[in-house]
Amino acid sequence: MTSVIVSSPYVSPSKSLRQLMINVIIGLVPGTLAYIWFFGYGVLVNIILAIGLALIFEAIVLKLRDKPIKPHLTDFSAVVAAWLFALCLPMNSPWWLVLIGIGFCMIAGKHLYGGLGFNPFNPAMVGYVALLISFPKEMTTWYLPQVISGQSLSLIDSLAYSFGLFEIEHWDAFSSATPLDQYKTGLTQNLAASEIFQSPVFGALGGVGWEWIAGGWLIGGFWLLISRTINWHIPVAVVCGLLLFATGRYFLDTATVASPVFHLFSGSIIIGAFFIATDPVTAATTNKGRIYYGLMIGMLVYIIRSWGGYPDGVAFAVLLANMCVPLIDYYTQPRIYGGQDQDE
Amino acid sequence: MSIKLHKFHGGLHTEDHKKGSLISGLQQATLPAQLILPLKQHIGDSNKPLVSVGDRVLRGQLIADSSSAISAPVHASSSGIVSEIGARPVPHPSGQSDLCIVIDVDGKDESIKQKTSPIENLSGAELIDKIQRAGIVGLGGAVFPTAAKLARGNDLGIKTLIINGAECEPYITCDDTLMQNYAAEVVSGIAYLQCILKPENTLIGIEDNKPAAIKSIQLAIEKSPLSQTEVVSIPTIYPSGGEKQLIKILTGKEVPASKLAFDIGLFCQNVGTCVAITRALEHDQALISRIVTLSGNGIQNPGNWEVWLGTPVSHLIELAGGYKINQAKSQHLVMGGPMMGFSLSSDAVPIVKASNNILVMQQQTIPLTPGYHDECVRCAKCVEVCPAQLLPQQLYWQARAKNHERSEEYHLFDCIECGCCAAVCPSQIPLVQYYRAEKSEIRTARQAHFKSDRARLRFEFREQRLLLKKQQDEERRRLKREALQKKNPKIPDRKVEVDPVQAALERVKARKQTQAAEPRNTTNLTPEQQQQIEEADARRRAAREQPK
């Protein structure tokens, strides 16, 4: 009798890559639902378009690279990346914007580096930043939440709108900057935070609607923690990094500076902390390193929001922190069993 | 008296699969038709055979030994005729063959004459010598010669003796069975170890999923005169039976990296080894049998057997009712546990001193398809479970790139190959396989480096030696010349006299002249010879002129 030689251990792994990705997708659902609730089906159209195109790009590149297509498509990593990318886009984005962005995300952000596991930068953020720099007008045309504008589109209309087949008069009248953008513009006009917050786009905690969406991400984030898909280190460190600066400055200057709560519930800091910064491939892997990495993102977000050129800074902060990951990992190696000093 | 338990980092709560093999208790295996005894069943230096083909050997007879300090002799497990000494497949991760002594068993099971001698008055060194002669090695799996370990421990001084009855790997129950059946022998083995090492206290670590074993050992200790000896029930978590992990659990101490347990006054020994020591000392019985678990979902009747060393695995499988499915091909054989064991290439290999378990798994339960796995996404689940507190994902990256220097920087050699990382990897990467390959590559590179270093040193030494010799020779010649000149001032200084080129030319000229004058073999011929030469010449001429 003979048998195949395989190396130990001979036990089935408890988790699969696909399961981890599905957990992330489940975690994205509450926030996405809230997002659609407040901003209409345009959000959903973005997501569907992005996922469909991402899978097509992934399949083409895998074919070109002579890699097995099915196992890679069904690990759902492309779905997660596309979903996160779509959430960054303004609702009702034209189809070509999604196409260019997701193409850059999958090809340049992921496969040119060698595919899943080899990309140093978060692919979704790479795609988003490429668009933000290349198409500033399209990327900053946001719409008012439906509760304010009173305008809503059906799913079919939203889809048609993305493909330029549907026009509404005065639709532009409902476009608006995001709350963070308004806050930033107000600051450049030397307005005090209290004055800026008079605008109807601001709610109790952050922007109207946005605060609920952030709550949705928070629920999803807790799910990720409970299901042990991610560890607490990165999200907590990101939030702490932001709060550290935001609170410090708020107490020094309550008049002109937005409250830490506003910073937390506006923009993408919560989704960034739980879903984007925690992308394992591009994040630090040691526990101590994760804390440095998260703190760095939180602080960079605050710096970019307050003094940088962009209203929100999560994408840039994550990409900058991605760059530092090899260094962070190298210098935060834990002490091994029987190792001598604490910081070996 | 109860001690405070500590935790080691990481580890896994695995399904233990131990019940199946515990139902039927300890069974005595029958003698096989043939015993295959590998010459080397330990870690250390190889043995040489002491018998030749055709010899009749008796049970307990020494058949292979070495003069090296780190080695363990091999004894015949039963009586019979040596039918072959040659390469046979042996249980080894490499799957390679090794030199074995094959004995055709005659079934009489005749023993060599036991000369049981009283051991009460023996010194520690004499006891160690007796243990060495019985061929005892660590039966927990490491198979390091016990006597060598004891001698070293004795030199360094031992504070705490740790007896390992953890048996943390899934499926394996041989130590559990041993503790339940041979508790008294375990305890008297511990007494002998205490007698040799003189530790201040002794801790027996047993996982809390073995209550019966814990109870039997406790009872046996109560009946014995042992003092300062405690059975400690430890939490069931893999790999608590790893020496370093058990030390951490029981003492809270960590063995410093690249050091061994006895460097910090600790000495670990497996419970099976204790029984072997008792039998060697009390009955002059060599290590010729051990308890082996047969388990897995591919075997009819799992259980524990006391097996003669050298018994082919196939014989044992027959005893257990054979494979579950008739197609033997759909089975996967593993020696050891599912976490750290290794695949057997066939069931013709023998049971050796290291064999604690034979795992028969149906092929489809093996999750790994060799060749394909997802890529590492750096999720660091492996970091959470690594009991050596390494960064397996970084090690994998370096091992894959064959970046030896970086692999060592990330403490590759502190990896205990427990398999926890691979067991939790969502990408199902056979991580341990990468580490093993990288380790062996580094070892090979080191060896090559060592060899080239030694060759260079030798070369440099030779160059220096030749230079020195030349200088010494010159010096001697100079002194001699000076002495001669002093004695006989007429001897001229050689240097001035002749131009060497001119001299050489003249020598050549002289040689040519003598050559010209010398007789050649064509002078002074007889008329017949002259005629023959002329005829031959004529034939040559004719042949040359013939048209083609």
3-state secondary structure B262-322: HHHCEEEEEHHHHHHHHHHHHHCCCCCEEEEEEECCCECCCEEEEEECCCEHHHHHHHCCC
Q: Please report, in angstroms and rounded to a whole number, the separation of the first and last CA atoms in chain B.
A: 114
Nearest in space to B80 (alpha carbons), one of B58, B53, B111, B95: B58
The pLDDT score that the predictor gives to residue B364 is 56
Contact A8 B375 (CB under 8 A): no
Nearest beta carbon to residue B377 from set A3, A6, A17: A17
Is A329 at the interface with chain B, CB within 8 A?
yes
Contact A6 B432 (CB under 8 A): no
Q: From CA B26, how far away is CA B177, in angstroms rounded?
A: 7
Q: B 313-352 residues with CB below 8 A of A?
A: 314, 328-329, 331-334, 336, 338-347
Nearest beta carbon to residue A336 from set B333, B363, B414: B414
What is the crossing angle of helices B146-156 and B183-197, to 10°?
A: 40
The pLDDT score that the predictor gives to residue A2 is 45
Contact B380 A286 (CB under 8 A): yes
Chain B CA closest to residue A77: B377
Nearest in space to A78 (alpha carbons), one of A106, A114, A43: A106
Dihedral of CA A248/A252/A257/A260: which sign?
positive
Nearest beta carbon to residue B338 from set A4, A8, A15: A8
Is B377 at the interface with chain A, CB within 8 A?
yes
CB pairs under 8 A between A and B: 171
Give the number of C-alpha atoms closer than 13 A to the C-alpha of residue B351, restricted to the C-beta side: 32
The pLDDT score that the predictor gives to residue A4 is 52
What structural domains does chain B harbor?
19-30+119-319 (3.40.50.11540), 376-486 (no CATH)
Q: From CA A102, how far away is CA A104, in angstroms rounded?
A: 5
Q: B 252-281 residues with CB below 8 A of A?
A: 254-257, 259
Write the DSSP symbol of residue A275. Answer: I
Chain B CA closest to residue A230: B379
Query: Do B102 and B82 contact (CB within 8 A), yes or no?
Result: yes
Q: From CA A122, how far away is CA B377, in angstroms rounded?
A: 12
Nearest in space to B143 (alpha carbons), one of B398, B313, B352, B289: B352
Contact B432 A336 (CB under 8 A): no
Contact A7 B433 (CB under 8 A): yes
Q: Which of A2, A5, A11, A224 is the best substitution to test chain B (most B C-beta atoms within 10 A)?
A: A11
Reported as a pLDDT band with limits 50, 70 and 90, residue A342 is very low
The pLDDT score that the predictor gives to residue A273 is 95
Q: Phi and psi dihedrals of B47, rounded to 5?
A: -95, 165
Pick the more confident residue, A205 or B384: B384
Query: Do B238 and B246 contact (CB within 8 A), yes or no?
Result: no
Q: What is the pLDDT along chain B (548 residues), one digit of tens a residue?
A: 568 899 999 999 988 889 888 988 899 999 999 999 999 999 888 899 999 999 999 999 999 998 888 899 999 999 999 999 999 999 988 788 899 999 999 988 888 887 767 777 788 888 999 999 999 999 988 889 999 999 999 888 999 999 999 999 999 999 999 999 999 999 999 999 999 999 999 999 999 999 999 999 999 999 988 888 999 999 999 999 999 999 999 999 999 987 889 899 999 999 999 999 999 998 889 999 999 999 988 888 999 999 999 999 999 999 998 888 765 556 788 999 999 998 888 889 999 999 999 999 876 555 545 567 888 999 999 999 999 999 999 999 999 888 999 999 899 999 999 999 999 999 888 899 899 889 999 999 999 999 999 999 999 999 999 999 999 999 999 999 888 888 877 666 555 566 788 888 888 988 888 877 766 677 677 888 888 888 888 888 888 876 54
Secondary element (H or E) of residue B477: helix B431-487
Contact A117 B426 (CB under 8 A): no
Q: From CA B300, how far away is CA B313, in angstroms rounded?
A: 15
Reported as a pLDDT band with limits 50, 70 and 90, residue A9 is confident
User: Residue B143 corresponds to which tokens in the numbers above?
Assistant: 């198979």
Q: From CA B295, how far away is CA B299, in angstroms rounded?
A: 7
Q: A212-245, pLDDT tens digit by residue?
A: 899 999 999 999 999 999 999 999 999 999 999 9
Q: Which of B251, B258, B297, B378 is the best substitution to test chain A (most A C-beta atoms within 10 A)?
A: B378
Q: Phi and psi dihedrals of B238, rounded to 5?
A: -75, 140
Q: Which residues in chain A are contacts of B331 at CB distance < 8 A? A: 1, 3
Reported as a pLDDT band with limits 50, 70 and 90, residue A179 is confident
Nearest beta carbon to residue A11 from set B339, B389, B433: B339
Query: Do B235 and B209 contact (CB within 8 A), yes or no?
Result: no
Q: Which residues in chain A are contacts of B424 at CB distance < 8 A? A: 13-15
B407 Cβ contact partners less than 8 Å away, ≥ 6 residues apart: B395, B398, B399, B438, B442
Q: Which residues in chain A are contacts of B338 at CB distance < 8 A? A: 8-11
Q: Which residues in chain B are contacts of A336 at CB distance < 8 A? A: 257, 388-390, 411, 414
The bridge status of strand B266-270 relative to strand B80-89 is: unpaired
Q: From CA A171, how far away is CA A278, in angstroms rounded?
A: 37
User: Residue A52 corresponds to which tokens in the numbers above?
Assistant: 């469909």
Q: A 279-308 residues with CB below 8 A of B?
A: 280-281, 283, 285-287
Contact B370 A6 (CB under 8 A): yes
Contact B334 A8 (CB under 8 A): yes
Reported as a pLDDT band with limits 50, 70 and 90, residue A343 is very low
The pLDDT score that the predictor gives to residue A1 is 42
Nearest beta carbon to residue B394 from set A68, A118, A329: A329
Q: Phi and psi dihedrals of B296, rounded to 5?
A: 110, 165
Contact A3 B394 (CB under 8 A): no
C-alpha triplet B23, B176, B324: angle, nearest 5°: 40
Is B385 at the interface with chain A, CB within 8 A?
no
Q: A240-290, pLDDT tens digit by residue?
A: 999 999 999 888 877 777 888 888 888 789 999 999 999 999 999 999 999
Smallest Cα distance from B41 to chain A, Å: 21
Q: Which residues in chain A are contacts of B96 at CB distance < 8 A? A: none
Smallest Cα distance from B376 to chain A, Å: 6
The pLDDT score that the predictor gives to residue B520 is 67
Reported as a pLDDT band with limits 50, 70 and 90, residue A204 is low
User: Residue B206 corresponds to which tokens in the numbers above?
Assistant: 């047993």
- For every residue of A152-210, DSSP letters joined together read ---HHHHHHHHTT----TTGGGGEE--HHHHHHHHHHTT--HHHHTTSTTB-SSSBTTH
Q: Which residue has the tokens 């070369």?
A: B459
Q: Is the ipTM of this complex over 0.90?
A: no
Smallest Cα distance from B377 to chain A, Å: 5
Q: Which residues in chain A are contacts of B328 at CB distance < 8 A? A: 1
The sheet with strand B48-49 has its strands ordered as B48-49, B62-65, B74-75
- Number of CB atoms found within 10 A of residue A238's CB: 33
The pLDDT score that the predictor gives to residue A175 is 66
The pLDDT score that the predictor gives to residue B278 is 94
